[in-house]
Amino acid sequence: MAEIRLAIEIAGLNLRNPVMNAAGILGLTADLLRRVYEEGAGAVVTKSIGLKPRMGHPNPTVAIVEGGLINAMGLPNPGVEYFLGELEKLKAGGIPVVASFFGETLDEFVEVASRLSEAGVDALELNCSCPNVEGVGILGSDPGAVKRVTEAVKGCVDKPLFVKLSPNVSDITEIARAAERGGADGLTAVNTLRAIALSIEARRPILSNVTGGLSGPALKPVALRCVWEIYEAVEIPIIGCGGITTWRDAVEYLLAGASALQVGTAIMTRGLRVFREINMGLRNYLEENGFREVSELVGLAHES
């Protein structure tokens, strides 16, 4: 019988399987990211790193809702200088690392990306789509700004650059094309969807930031539609992200056009075993349906 291969190549990155954690989930320390890899992820993605340490928003920063979570963390992170130490530990273990990063200005985006790149990350994920911080989120809805920041970063790093897109736009293909024109090697689709949770007891919003970003199964059909549309609009590969919980979700994303996948909220609901569960289900699906490689599924639903 033909051997089934879960390994993929995306934007020059060779991974043992297509499933990573989503940025922001367990992504701040080398120890936690090492656990993610040991539990079966194909690569690990860091929490978004900025130039300087940032506290983020005050609590409450997470609300549990039907079908998922609404978060407004507010980009808390220890800053790039501190994170380089964590990165060194991860790289010593030979773990493929995708560093998510942001800046408050174009120069900051470039500086953070350059430092992460020089420190040996395997790929970069440019976060221009945080729904919870003015500026970083707005950037992601302006095609001209997305092209400019992508171009500027790409001009000074020699690592694959993924741009993470926001679903909070009227036409995601316009932003996807802008990132592609700016030289992005791939796109991550998508970040969280702007949402709100209210307490009827307190008669006010639950989150200190009032609004937050919705993730989890409730986001999946929207995110899947985004991947579908982007696949028809650009040539560069897509990392699908949004509510992936089971191997069936993973197969749907691949059929819609994703070449790799990120799992966020399901790490909280299923635990770290979610990576093995998805990879095992994916392997069985390939075998039972006469496929040999993950790449054979990518975009297949568009052919009908």
Q: Mind telling me the catalytic residues?
A: 130
Q: Does the CA dihedral 241-184-236-91 come out positive or negative?
A: negative
Q: Which amino acid is at 49?
A: I
Q: Which residue, 20 or 297, has its beta carbon nearer to ligand RRO?
A: 20
Q: Does 245 bind ligand RRO (CB under 6 A)?
A: no
Decide: is 190 part of the binding site for ligand RRO (CB under 6 A): no
Question: Is there binding between residue 223 and ligand RRO (CB under 6 A)?
Answer: no
Q: Does 75 bind ligand RRO (CB under 6 A)?
A: yes
Distance, CA of 71 to CA of 61 (rounded, Å):
6
Are 153 and 109 in contact, with CB atoms under 8 Å apart?
yes
Q: Which 18-47 residues touch ligand RRO, going by CB under 6 A?
A: 24
Query: Is residue 72 within the footprint of ligand RRO (CB under 6 A)?
Result: yes
- Binding-site size for ligand RRO (CB under 6 A) equals 14
Nearer to ligand RRO, 76 or 281 (CB): 76
CB 287, min distance to ligand RRO, A: 35
Nearest residue to the partner ligand RRO, using Cβ: 213
Asked, as a colleague might, if the bond just before 131 is cis with ω within 30 of 0, I would say no
73 interacts with ligand RRO by CB under 6 A? yes
Q: Which residues of 229-247 are buried (b: 16+ CB within 10 A; e: fewer)?
A: bbbebbebbbbbbbbbbeb
Give the Cα separation of 221 and 63 in Å (integer): 20
- The amino acid at residue 270 is R
First and final CA of the chain: distance in angstroms?
A: 28
Angle, helices 274-288/247-256, rounded to nearest 10 degrees: 60
Q: Which of 21, 117, 188, 192 binds ligand RRO (CB under 6 A)?
A: 192
Give yes or no for a cis peptide into 19 (omega within 30° of 0): no
Q: Which is nearer to ligand RRO, 18 or 213 (CB)?
A: 213
**Residue 182 contacts ligand RRO per CB under 6 A:** no
Give the shortest CB-4-to-ligand RRO separation in angstroms. Answer: 34
Q: How many CB atoms lie within 10 A of CB 13?
A: 20
Residues 125-164 that bind ligand RRO (CB under 6 A): 127, 130-132
CB 184 within 8 Å of CB 140: no
Q: How far is the CB of 112 from ligand RRO (least distance, A)?
A: 13
Residues that bind ligand RRO (CB under 6 A): 24, 48, 71-75, 127, 130-132, 191-192, 213
